[in-house]
């Protein structure tokens, strides 16, 4: 029985699902299953060779009146008496029972990684930025057959990643990695908001507009309260194809979410990032490495009302964009696919035990 791929997709933000879609497109001849709690909004983007298993959300609902968080050191999230968590784990285990030949890619969850390993399912973990040397991450990393980082190694370190030696640094990629772009750059500046939550709000937009030079027009891309009119500011809302607006902007102010950064790198933008608060300092660490390597200017959240934004924008214009060429890689997805197929062929050589299953 040949091994097939399945992919657990975390529901926070859009980066996890977009990464899963890109990797699935690199495996057009494979039947793949996505498992996740927020797949429906992306159904038109998911390739035809992908089946979807829709999981209930794992947070307490109205019916879970007696739930208890009860944190433990060896897991990140394992509350007591949450029906959605129980049901989603039951669905995942039933999927394993019916598909014992699957290789599970996990983007991301230490708990799902350990659940899979306890069921004897080989796993491949996606490595995110952040200081992830806690017990849960160490256990998940040790249990995995392979760890894939969709970024270059200079945006990570052995301090942050206890499994650095085991990690494939494939390079970054985005939906714009293979897209040729023609910019008509002027004095426009964009504020680009991702979908994973942001510390950039309307109050900050007003502040930015007041202090920026008059010739700079601001383009706001993303979900923000925009039932207002501000001179010198255009609110575009959420755009399916933000590159059209970004083509007139050299400097882009954004958070340090992975998908956002990789898209802006592929669009060859001068980046000023304001890292948002995330578990394990994910965005802070990414912003740190981006600044250290000359890929971006970083302004910390506590400094956004004290910094001189005209100076920061001037600094961003002076960044050496040649460095950006080393962040994303046109061969990143083929490289990931190569290593996945290498693992699959290795596992195929080991005969599976002929289990007996209930129908």
pLDDT tens readout for residues 217-238? 999 999 987 678 999 999 999 9
Tell the burial category of 210 from Cβ atoms under 10 Å away from its Cβ (0-12, 13-18, 19+): exposed
How would CATH label the architecture of 188-326? Answer: 3-Layer(aba) Sandwich (3.40)
175: which residues sit within 8 A by CB, 6+ positions away?
Answer: 18, 22, 263
SS3 172: strand
Tell the burial category of 306 from Cβ atoms under 10 Å away from its Cβ (0-12, 13-18, 19+): exposed
Q: What is the band of 184 on the pLDDT scale with cuts at 50, 70, 90? A: confident
Question: CA–CA separation, 122 vs 127, rounded Å?
Answer: 16
Q: Average the pLDDT over each of 32-36, 183-187, 252-256 and give the range with the smallest value.
A: 183-187
Please state the separation of Cα 316 from the chain's center in Å: 24
318: left (phi over 0), alpha (psi -120 to 50) or beta: alpha
Q: What is the DSSP letter of 55?
A: P
Beta bridge partners of 169: 149
Give the right CATH number for 4-173+330-348 from 3.40.50.460, 3.40.1790.10, 3.40.190.290, 3.40.50.2000.
3.40.50.2000
Q: Kindly list the domain boundaries of the chain, sorted by start residue.
A: 4-173+330-348, 188-326
Cis bond leading into 108, ω under 30°? yes
Please state the separation of Cα 130 from the chain's center in Å: 12
What DSSP line would sit under 86-145, residue for residue?
Answer: HHHHHHHHHHHHH-TTEEEEEES-HHHHHHHHHTT--EEEEPPSS---SHHHHHHHHH-S
Question: CA–CA separation, 351 vs 359, rounded Å?
Answer: 22
Q: What proportion of the chain, given as a percentage, has pLDDT over 70?
A: 97
As a whole number of Å, the end-to-end CA separation of the chain is: 18
Structure token digits, residue 45: 């983007």
Question: CA–CA separation, 56 vs 60, rounded Å?
Answer: 11
Average pLDDT over residues 273-288: 98
Contact between residue 273 and residue 298 where contact means Cβ atoms under 8 Å apart: yes
Q: What is the band of 357 on the pLDDT scale with cuts at 50, 70, 90? A: low
Q: Which helix (H) or strand (E) holds 269?
A: none
pLDDT at 185: 78
- 160 versus 13: the higher-pLDDT residue is 160
What is Dmax (Cα atoms) for the chain?
72
Q: How many CB atoms lie within 10 A of CB 20?
A: 25
Question: CA–CA separation, 353 vs 23, rounded Å?
Answer: 29
pLDDT at 193: 93
pLDDT at 354: 64
SS3 58: coil
């Amino acid at each position: 029985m040949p091994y097939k791929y399945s992919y657990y997709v975390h529901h926070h933000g859009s980066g996890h699902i977009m990464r899963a879609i890109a990797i699935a497109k690199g495996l057009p001849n494979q039947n793949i299953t996505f498992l996740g709690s927020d797949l429906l909004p992306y159904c038109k983007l998911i390739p035809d060779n992908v089946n979807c298993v829709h999981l209930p959300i794992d947070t307490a609902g109205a019916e879970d009146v007696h739930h208890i968080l009860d944190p433990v050191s060896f897991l990140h999230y394992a509350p007591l008496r949450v029906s959605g968590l129980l049901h989603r784990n039951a669905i995942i285990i039933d999927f394993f029972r019916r598909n014992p030949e699957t290789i599970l890619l996990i983007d991301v969850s230490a708990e799902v990684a350990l659940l899979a390993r306890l069921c004897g399912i080989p796993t491949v973990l996606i490595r995110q930025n952040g200081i992830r040397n806690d017990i849960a991450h160490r256990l998940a990393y040790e249990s995995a057959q392979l760890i894939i980082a969709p970024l270059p190694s200079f945006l990570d370190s052995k301090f942050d990643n206890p499994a650095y030696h085991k990690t494939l640094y494939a390079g970054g990629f985005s939906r714009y990695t293979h897209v040729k772009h023609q910019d008509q750059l002027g004095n426009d500046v964009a504020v680009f908001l991702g979908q994973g939550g942001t510390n950039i709000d309307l109050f900050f937009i007003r502040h930015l507009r007041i202090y920026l030079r008059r010739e700079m027009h601001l383009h706001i891309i993303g979900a923000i309260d925009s039932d207002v009119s501000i001179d010198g500011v255009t609110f575009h809302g959420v755009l399916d194809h933000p590159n059209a607006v970004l083509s007139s902007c050299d400097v882009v102010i954004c958070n340090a979410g992975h998908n956002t950064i990789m898209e802006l790198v592929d669009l060859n933008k001068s980046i000023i990032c304001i890292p948002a608060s995330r578990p394990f300092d994910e965005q802070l660490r990414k912003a740190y490495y981006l600044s250290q390597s000359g890929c971006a200017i970083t302004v910390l959240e506590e400094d956004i009302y004290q910094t001189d934004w005209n100076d920061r924008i001037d600094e961003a214009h002076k960044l050496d964009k040649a460095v950006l060429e080393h962040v994303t890689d046109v061969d990143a997805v083929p490289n990931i696919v190569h290593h996945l197929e290498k693992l699959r062929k290795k596992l195929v050589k080991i005969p599976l035990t002929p289990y007996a299953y209930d129908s």
